[in-house]
Structure 1
């Protein structure tokens, strides 16, 4: 039986790595949980920010478009009050009428110069012919010569305008300007606002057309889009792109034969909601969509005012859309990367805590181990003491009985040990006791239960399928008479040994101990230095 195998020294590193793994696992769970809480908080922040951002953009577009409609009605009022239709219709004008017409044209030119956002301001008569056109190019407004004025009767916006009744305003769809049946270069996003002009007899005499340079509105929208990770877009009522912050090649693609390139094709996640009439936010697997309706909703048009009614609602029924990609699949690693220094410091603390905990447990266990050794071992020989012998001896015999293996108990008593102490001194006596313990380990092996009962008395319990007790005792006697020992110490050592077979001589430790003790005294009476082995109680 190994020496004190029930109290082995504490294994430091396995326990250290156990503590470290527990701490790091708990720490990882805490970090992951915190990252998810942060993720949800960031998501809520994005939802609020995008709602506010699109609300501000919507408010700007409404104000901008309403200002354009008001400008158109203002120019129409100027034409009405000046009776321009009658002046353009006369073949000849009086000096006063010439001055009135000249003042009107100068006022329109001044209006165009100061507003700076109308590509053209035109007065078109009831037959569709341009009577006045003020162009705005390179930040300069100028009146086009009479000879270059055109007949616009075939244009859709002129036809729509000439069908208006008093109080109505037509707003064309937002598209690219076309000149001579080709898309003008560079591209000019354009909205045409048409207001009818009626004379005092309530007869339609013409229309005022303002070509609004919508690029100004788009450029203003770009000022809201400072975060490159967020995609912003403006789409018409068909879902076609009018503006895209990240994919400008999608803008006005419908004018180049790509009618099917719509927002629900590019972003399938909002295909069921983009054409709704309500503002909403959608948290999908792809990311967060925020959709805000612009312009007319059903029959409600925000550009109507003071009895002016916009007739075409679909042309200004737009959608503002923002899209924020969902980082949930890699948010944890983004969180770790953004907090690397703090997390490394915390991980270092985990290692230190694991080391301290393992060191404390090792010190505690070693203290317990030392106390156990002190309580169960002989200090001089490092063999089992009497307490440990009777504690562990019962277990050895029970195991032998259970496995049906023979076992034996040997009692060893040193011969004339008192003489050695008296003659050579107690230090020499201690050396002799340690020598006996060494011989016991060498002869009986570490698997045997080796014990110093006290003084010069020792005990051994051996077990095994082939119990060669005679050979073991002979080896013990030979070891006691080791020449090196005699040469070094000069003290001859002799012992009397008695043994009893288990379970033949007793089926418990107390009985077996008594039988072995009797056998040892038989050896003493026979002349010392010998061995008596009992195989049954009656031999005693």
Structure 2
């Protein structure tokens, strides 16, 4: 019993130390890895959210340019006929129904009067009667767009829609894309404007960036929430609420505001952010205004029109990274000690099976399944290696044989493909048993084979080839009740010092093989 206890102590003590230290190290590494994964996942989610925003905006700008170039609109602007008005209204209705992302499509004339207005009501495009059209000359998006040159695009701030002088309820986030339109003489005739339903974009943004942190948000350049997990935080600049991210987190916002993107761990948690610039070349914006009427504060360039996609992982969520506690790892260590012998044996079996499977996979990847010789891909790799060795040691010759079974097609045609397979297998056995450890043979085509003979020049290769040819010719291959005799034609060559490519000797041997075929088959020809 004492001896058994000594053996147990001798085995248990060092393993127990290793397991305890390993469990502690694993816990530390696991916590670190979990943090790295979280940081990478959140950064990916922020990037996905940013991409969702820009993808939608690019589509809207393309649509605006497309509509502004329509012939019906040009005729309406130029002539103002009722026929042109009806045609453009029809086209705009069809476009709205096809796109399904625009709350309004409008042509507003140079006086600010809505002349064509298509609203999306309960998912259906509706042309608003003339009596219900409004004047928008005092809205910032009209005055700011009219100040542009034809071809330029105005993109409003993302804000809430105002109708009849008041905010729409429920709130309707809106982006307005507008461009000035002109007649044939270049006179401005108002603006074409698309009211893009921001909810579509914001919902996709939320879906793309969800699930990886407890708070992913979209902010404007002033730090107001455009999208937040708390709806009460949103649209403060429209609702006269001064609360911003900067007011709530004064140490965090300056860092986010001044840098394009980044990640920062501070006492409030992990912050990840990325800047999104919605304005493309040829587009401008302004500060807009939260009032029902009145000019915008200032013109905004593409570099100043910025949104911030921000993710905040709170300390509570970060604390969940440490759920693999010491007690859990202690339980694992105890279980490992109790099951050490069994697990070691099972592991040894698994490793042995894995090694066997790896060897099998390596053999399958390098060996022709029918003949047991090297397959074409592996053989060509070997040719390159042999050639590299020859370049370093040109005093060690390498012979090359190209072999092709004579009239093999007739064997398949007369006796069937099973008989052809038996012929290939028998020839493969002949080659395998004749090879030295420094040689290699491969099947590089249907009935075409190649052999590399290290240490053999052309004459040595010829002698080897003759031996193979005679042995195959003497072989009687049983095919059912028939004894089949098959011959082989062989071309012999060797690596040369002035060869520029590894397969040059193969090409010479192949040419010699064709001469052997032409000379009557069942013979060896030298290159």
Q: TM-score range by the shorter chain?
A: 0.5 to 0.7
1:287 touches 1:326 (CA, 8 Å); kept in 2? yes
Question: Following the alignment from structure 2 to structure 1, what is the Cα–Cα distance between the partners of residues 230 and 156?
Answer: 25
1:253 aligns with 2:236: yes
Question: Following the alignment from structure 1 to structure 2, what is the Cα–Cα distance between the partners of residues 232 and 200?
Answer: 49
Please give the secondary structure, in 2, of the residue aligned with 1:111: helix
Q: 1:117 to 1:330 in 2, by over 3 A?
A: closer
Offset at residue 27 of structure 1 (A)? 6.0
Please give the secondary structure, in 2, of the residue aligned with 1:222: helix
1:121 touches 1:133 (CA, 8 Å); kept in 2? yes
1:286 aligns with 2:268: yes
Q: 1:347 aligns with which of 334, 338, 348?
A: 334
Q: 1:330 to 1:140 in 2, by over 3 A?
A: closer
Q: RMSD of aligned C-alpha atoms?
A: 3.3
Matches for 1:14-163 after TM superposition, within 5 Å: 30-78=22-70, 82-88=74-80, 97-163=81-147
Question: Following the alignment from structure 1 to structure 2, what is the Cα–Cα distance between the partners of residues 108 and 80?
Answer: 10
Q: 1:22 to 1:63 in 2, by over 3 A?
A: same
1:156-180 Cα shifts (integer Å, max 9, x gaps): 1111111111221111111111223
1:295 aligns with 2:277: yes
Question: Following the alignment from structure 2 to structure 1, what is the Cα–Cα distance between the partners of residues 309 and 336?
Answer: 50
Q: 1:286 to 1:190 in 2, by over 3 A?
A: same
Please give the secondary structure, in 1, of the residue aligned with 2:312: strand
Question: Following the alignment from structure 1 to structure 2, what is the Cα–Cα distance between the partners of residues 231 and 153?
Answer: 40
Q: 1:33 to 1:267 in 2, by over 3 A?
A: farther
Matches for 1:413-492 after TM superposition, within 5 Å: none
1:364-411 Cα shifts (integer Å, max 9, x gaps): xxxxxxxxxxxxxxxxxxxxxxxxxxxxxxxxxxxxxxxxxxxxxxxx
1:91-135 Cα shifts (integer Å, max 9, x gaps): xxxxxx543332211001111111111111110111111111111
2:23 touches 2:333 (CA, 8 Å); kept in 1? no
Offset at residue 57 of structure 1 (A)? 2.1
Q: 1:330 to 1:77 in 2, by over 3 A?
A: closer
Q: 2:164 aligns with which of 180, 189, 192?
A: 180
Offset at residue 64 of structure 1 (A)? 0.7
Offset at residue 186 of structure 1 (A)? 1.1
Give the match for residue 311 of structure 2: 322
Please give the secondary structure, in 1, of the residue aligned with 2:171: coil
Give the match for residue 523 of structure 2: none
Give the match for residue 223 of structure 1: 207
Question: Following the alignment from structure 1 to structure 2, what is the Cα–Cα distance between the partners of residues 236 and 174?
Answer: 8
1:280 touches 1:291 (CA, 8 Å); kept in 2? yes
Give the match for residue 335 of structure 1: 324
Question: Following the alignment from structure 1 to structure 2, what is the Cα–Cα distance between the partners of residues 328 and 223?
Answer: 20
Offset at residue 285 of structure 1 (A)? 3.4
Q: What number of residue pairs does the alignment pair up?
A: 318
1:126 touches 1:204 (CA, 8 Å); kept in 2? yes
Question: Following the alignment from structure 2 to structure 1, what is the Cα–Cα distance between the partners of residues 255 and 175?
Answer: 26
Question: Following the alignment from structure 2 to structure 1, what is the Cα–Cα distance between the partners of residues 195 and 162?
Answer: 12
1:291 touches 1:320 (CA, 8 Å); kept in 2? yes
1:32-88 Cα shifts (integer Å, max 9, x gaps): 432221122122212222222222222221121111112122222226863312333
Please give the secondary structure, in 1, of the residue aligned with 2:255: coil
Q: 1:21 to 1:174 in 2, by over 3 A?
A: farther
TM-score of the superposed pair, with normalisation by structure 1: 0.53
Matches for 1:165-176 after TM superposition, within 5 Å: 165-176=149-160
Q: 1:98 to 1:81 in 2, by over 3 A?
A: closer
Q: 1:272 aligns with which of 239, 251, 254?
A: 254
Offset at residue 287 of structure 1 (A)? 2.5
Question: Following the alignment from structure 2 to structure 1, what is the Cα–Cα distance between the partners of residues 196 and 246?
Answer: 28
Question: Following the alignment from structure 2 to structure 1, what is the Cα–Cα distance between the partners of residues 325 and 259?
Answer: 41
Q: 1:60 to 1:193 in 2, by over 3 A?
A: same
Q: 1:332 to 1:293 in 2, by over 3 A?
A: closer
Q: 1:132 to 1:36 in 2, by over 3 A?
A: same
Q: 1:329 to 1:58 in 2, by over 3 A?
A: closer
2:277 touches 2:306 (CA, 8 Å); kept in 1? yes
Question: Following the alignment from structure 1 to structure 2, what is the Cα–Cα distance between the partners of residues 332 and 72?
Answer: 48
TM-score of the superposed pair, with normalisation by structure 2: 0.54
Q: Which runs of 5+ in 1 are unaligned?
A: 1-9, 11-19, 89-96, 354-540
Q: Which runs of 5+ in 2 are unaligned?
A: 3-11, 286-299, 341-527
Give the match for residue 262 of structure 1: 244
1:295 touches 1:318 (CA, 8 Å); kept in 2? yes
Which structure has the larger Rg? 1
Question: Following the alignment from structure 2 to structure 1, what is the Cα–Cα distance between the partners of residues 245 and 322?
Answer: 31
Offset at residue 22 of structure 1 (A)? 12
Q: 1:205 to 1:104 in 2, by over 3 A?
A: same
Q: 2:193 aligns with which of 196, 209, 223?
A: 209
Q: 1:140 to 1:349 in 2, by over 3 A?
A: closer
Offset at residue 310 of structure 1 (A)? 2.9
Q: 1:284 to 1:32 in 2, by over 3 A?
A: farther
Please give the secondary structure, in 1, of the residue aligned with 2:136: coil
